[in-house]
Structure 1
Amino acid sequence: MALEATQAMDPPIRREEEIPRNQGRQSKLKVYIPNDIDRAIGDNARHFVNECGRVVRTRAPLNVKNWKEALTIYGDAMWKEIEGKFEIKEGGSYMKLQAFVVDTMQRLFRLWKARLHYYYKSLGSELTKEERLKYPPPDLPQDQWQYCVERFGSIEFKKISERNSKNRLSEKRTKTTTGNLSFAEVEDILTQENQGVKPPADVIWLVEHTTRNNEGVLHWADESRSKEIHEQLKVAVATHGDSMTQEEILLDVLKPRSGYFRGKGTALRGYSKGSMQLEHQNLTNEQQNQIQIQEQRIKELQETQEKTTKQLQEAQERTSKQLEQQREDMQRSMEEMKQQLLNLTTVAAATSAIADATLESLLQAVCWQGWGGFVREGGRGREGLLAGGGEGLQGWGQGL
């Protein structure tokens, strides 16, 4: 992005015919980068990569967060150093060379920091920070080394380093014996030695993962993983023959990996077969995840429906029992009320009879008592009776 922004303000000369040739300056070295792989091969490939490494070590700052920040600050200066010495071979794209330079420098920037960390550890764990600062690597500015010492000695970096060390010890990892040569360069050298015919995948794998001692005995770089893969590649080559390319056989045996082509490194990230298989695998995984999610949802809905149905049934049963209990209680209450009414009727009838008899006895007693009082009162009673006249006597008779 920094290079594109710089070129937008000051576009460089891109077409070879626009570069003046007869001015006595040294000609540039030509680099060949195949269209199907992101690696330089041929006579000047090693010199080109080594020069990228030198520029990174002398130009790229270490006290930055990441490569993107380093490229933003010094990317233009680093690119111009490479551009002044190299050019892509005829038929190649200027933009491809530029992209390859940036990608190569990024990879070498990580390797440079890793080597500095190895140098830091080689000084010994007993040295203090101040003592380490006295032993900077050759050609590394003191301020950059001070940043490395502080960074490598931090707790955060130590945790990351321990995690990466464990990952490198994984049984699935393989070791190579090609040194600084990339897989693409090894393949190109073997192809040239084989009269221009690319060797099969198992032969290239054998060369990249084995060495021979002074007696000519073959040794694998790791204990068993590389040898196991080689046997699988031999079977695949014998089975498929020319019906599959080398890349397809590698994909069939080693399986695709995001951002990395097993057996080819990061140079073949855009290979269509690997991308298709990886996309297909990701799509399959996504579909399986979606199916699992849908099945889980269906299961949850079924469980919810069963739970709701069970709750409704229980509610209906409780309601039926309550209605039945209410009906029984009502029937029992009606029977009790009926019995109470019957009892009240009987009691009322008996009470009425008793009341009638009591009233009659009472009236008789009052009548006789009143008549006796009249006799006892003598003249006063007679006067009262006479004073009442016929109405008093009549009322008395009615009372009786």
Structure 2
Amino acid sequence: MLVPVPEHFRAPVGDQASKLASKIGIEVRTQLPDLSICRWNKVHDADKKPMIQRLEDQFDLQGNPSDVARTLNTQFGRRLSSFTYRLHKQYKQLKDARGEEYARSHPPTSVTLNQWTSLIDKKWNSKEFMEQSLTNVNNRMQMKTKHRCGSKSIPVRVHSSIIANGEVPDLAKFYKSIHYNSNTHEWISSESQANYDNMIKTQAEHLSQTGVIPLSQEELSVKVLKPRSGYVKGLGLRPSSSMKTTVVPAENSDYVQRLEMQIAQQNEQIARFQKSEKKQSKKIQSIIECLTQKGITGNFENGESSDSDEQAS
């Protein structure tokens, strides 16, 4: 299964990206012996390598090798964090309802007793974990504009739009598509609606000036959603590893324009490749038909021929 990892996203995109994330989750839940490890980069290579190899056997991860490696590490880390977070919630619920001893001796079916007690002793009861957990809770409480992308991440959605339209999607329209529920006709939050309205207003005010061109999507992101180093907020875009670009104020920023030029060049290369492949396919088919007319038969697709073929040759 093909999963591209473009340098301007440094994240898995395409139709199979969600399957890759799902498979990584299965690997973490079923193959990682010690779940108490705080971070993926602390997992022993002896445990990592077989898991990564199984992924590479099933998925064709196309992209810069360093970007692919970074993407896999990020995905494994997120799946590990997500899984242990759910387990911790179950532990707290059992502990509150039945007591600590009961919770300790009754692990969920998804983990062994050794894994369960290791999580309790080595991770959840540690001072470092408790402090970090409190910090994470406070950070989550301050998040006011969560999106509703589901299993299709922002990079996947933006990449699909680029493939379909040949350009980066309009920031305001895309932002609304992942922050507004068209079924209930409600925004995820009042802050999300305010951001959208500000995007429309900012672009309109800019275009009201004489002789100006529309703000690029990156420029609009910087003005409304504020700059973030190496990342275009709202679109999931990242500069390539060769450019090392940091998002800067609008008057100095041309990253998205360069990205659109790269996309156009890639589309041209793909079109030329498809045209060449089509010609080659027709040529092979013509040769097969010619050989068939001369009485040379066989399984050409598998590279096999009959006795009559060998005699003819």
Q: TM-score range with shorter-chain normalisation?
A: 0.5 to 0.7
- Residues 150-169 of structure 1 show CA distances to partners (whole Å, capped at 9, x for unaligned) of 33345553343233212211
Structure 1 residue 44: Cα displacement: 1.1
1:115-154 equivalences under 5 Å are: 115-123=86-94, 125-150=96-121, 151-154=123-126
> In the superposition, relative to structure 1, how do residues 33 and 219 fare at CA in structure 2: closer, same or farther (>3 Å)?
same
Letter in 2 for 1:49: A
Structure 1 residue 139: Cα displacement: 2.7
Partner of 1:244: 215
CA distance in 1, matches of 2:44, 2:217: 35
Partner of 2:173: 203
Letter in 1 for 2:202: A
> In the superposition, relative to structure 1, how do residues 274 and 202 fare at CA in structure 2: closer, same or farther (>3 Å)?
farther
> In the superposition, relative to structure 1, how do residues 263 and 50 fare at CA in structure 2: closer, same or farther (>3 Å)?
same
1:237-316 equivalences under 5 Å are: 237-239=203-205, 243-258=214-229, 261-264=232-235, 268=238, 275-277=246-248
Q: Is the 8 A contact 2:8 2:239 kept in 1?
A: no
Given candidates 26, 29, 44, the residue that maps to 1:54 is 26
CA distance in 2, matches of 1:99, 1:245: 28
Determine if the alignment matches structure 1 residue 232 to structure 2 residue 198. Answer: yes
- Residues 190-240 of structure 1 show CA distances to partners (whole Å, capped at 9, x for unaligned) of 556x65554310111111112233xxx311222x21111111122234345
Q: Is the 8 A contact 2:61 2:68 kept in 1?
A: yes
Q: Is the 8 A contact 2:179 2:192 kept in 1?
A: yes
- Residues 290-327 of structure 1 show CA distances to partners (whole Å, capped at 9, x for unaligned) of xxxxxxxxxxxxxxxxxxxxxxxxxxxxxxxxxxxxxx
Partner of 2:266: none
CA distance in 1, matches of 2:44, 2:239: 22
Structure 1 residue 248: Cα displacement: 2.8
> In the superposition, relative to structure 1, how do residues 276 and 43 fare at CA in structure 2: closer, same or farther (>3 Å)?
closer
1:18-29 equivalences under 5 Å are: 29=1
Partner of 1:174: 145
Q: Provide the secondary structure at the position in 1 that maps to 2:2.
A: strand
Q: Is the 8 A contact 2:158 2:168 kept in 1?
A: yes
Letter in 2 for 1:207: S
CA distance in 2, matches of 1:274, 1:221: 31
Q: Is the 8 A contact 1:261 1:274 kept in 2?
A: no
Q: Is the 8 A contact 2:7 2:64 kept in 1?
A: no
**Paired residues, number:** 241
Q: Provide the secondary structure at the position in 2 that maps to 1:100.
A: helix
Structure 1 residue 249: Cα displacement: 1.7
- Residues 13-63 of structure 1 show CA distances to partners (whole Å, capped at 9, x for unaligned) of xxxxxxxxxxxxxxxx11122221112221211111211222222233322
CA distance in 1, matches of 2:71, 2:238: 12
Which structure has the larger Rg over C-alpha atoms?
1
CA distance in 2, matches of 1:169, 1:243: 36
Larger proportion of helix? 1
Q: Is the 8 A contact 1:191 1:199 kept in 2?
A: yes
Letter in 2 for 1:99: R
- Comparing 199-208 with 126-135, greater Cα deviation is found at 126-135
CA distance in 1, matches of 2:85, 2:239: 23
CA distance in 1, matches of 2:94, 2:56: 37
- Comparing 254-263 with 49-58, greater Cα deviation is found at 254-263
Q: Is the 8 A contact 1:132 1:149 kept in 2?
A: no
Q: Provide the secondary structure at the position in 1 that maps to 2:97.
A: coil
> In the superposition, relative to structure 1, how do residues 190 and 174 fare at CA in structure 2: closer, same or farther (>3 Å)?
same
CA distance in 2, matches of 1:160, 1:95: 29
1:1-400 equivalences under 5 Å are: 29-60=1-32, 61-89=34-62, 92-123=63-94, 125-150=96-121, 151-154=123-126, 156-170=128-142, 173-190=144-161, 195-213=165-183, 217-222=184-189, 224-239=190-205, 243-258=214-229, 261-264=232-235, 268=238, 275-277=246-248
Letter in 2 for 1:79: I
> In the superposition, relative to structure 1, how do residues 125 and 160 fare at CA in structure 2: closer, same or farther (>3 Å)?
farther
Letter in 1 for 2:153: S
CA distance in 2, matches of 1:260, 1:109: 24
Query: Where in structure 1 are there 5+ consecutive unaligned residues?
Result: 1-28, 279-400
